[in-house]
Amino acid sequence: MAMRRPLIMGNWKMHGSLADNAVLLAGIRDGTARLRGQPELAVCVPFVYLAQAQMALADSVISWGAQDVSVHEKGAYTGEISGAMLADFGCRWVLCGHSERRALHGEGSALVAAKAAGALAAGLTPVVCVGETLSDREAGETECVVGDQLDPVLALGADALSRLVIAYEPVWAIGTGRSATPEQAQEVHALIRASLARHGASATRILYGGSVKPDNAAALFAQDDIDGALIGGASLQADSFLGIAAAVS
């Protein structure tokens, strides 16, 4: 990971309140001084809390982002949020194609790639999520499924790929308490790295997500192609989020 700065990113999903967020963001801010390896830190919060995150983190080392973005720049798209709107709130990041968006909202891989392209055009860094279900893994289809999800993103070209992040999240390990072993995660990360390399983007960061906790983070980060973590539930407590970040060093 010497050439790729580790990135530790929290995904709050649909959690939070103004009061709870204030405590959480302050706790993360206060704890960053104790981190030795200085990984890059970020939180992706619900749209309605972006202003709060911006105010709380503006003069800190922690950046912030959103959990989704519209494929459209503007127009009659009630309920949608554009990349330009996210940039207005100082967002650096946006998640694209999280497994919950794919499963619950029917987002296909072509749409996910289009969202990533739109995010890049708005000056954001998309974090493109890929991963297989338990049935996919048991059928030996992991490489095929992840490859199909990646293909439209790879088609964006080397320049775009160099400006985004990939997050591998095995669906069977998200919120289940069941994490992929470091070896299982590394195997898929290596496949993704090889695909990126074939498209001239071997230095693109690849995060692992799926029940990452302080006690399994160090073993995951020791793998050659795991450049950090996209953290769900453990990002809702400052101590656990910072504990995972501390495992980088």
Nearest to residue 54, comparing CAs of 16, 88, 82? 88
Residues 91-141 have pLDDT tens digits of: 999 999 999 999 999 999 999 999 999 999 999 999 999 999 999 999 999
Each domain of the chain, given as residue ranges in start order, spans 7-72+79-246
pLDDT of residue 124: 98
What are 209's two structure tokens?
A: 């997500």
pLDDT of residue 2: 45
pLDDT of residue 180: 85
Segments in the chain below pLDDT 50: 1-2
Local structure of 30: helix, strand or coil: helix
pLDDT of residue 156: 98
Q: Please check whether residue 28 is in contact with residue 62, taking contact to mean a CB–CB distance below 8 angstroms.
A: yes
Which of left, alpha, beta for 240 (phi over 0: left; psi -120 to 50: alpha)? alpha
Q: Beta partners for 129?
A: 167
Give the homologous superfamily in CATH for domain 7-72+79-246.
Answer: Aldolase class I (3.20.20.70)
Kind of pairing between the strands at 93-96 and 125-130: parallel
How many Å apart are CA 179 and CA 1, to the nearest integer?
Answer: 21
pLDDT of residue 1: 42
How many Å apart are CA 77 and CA 81, to the nearest integer?
Answer: 9
Residues with catalytic function: 98, 169
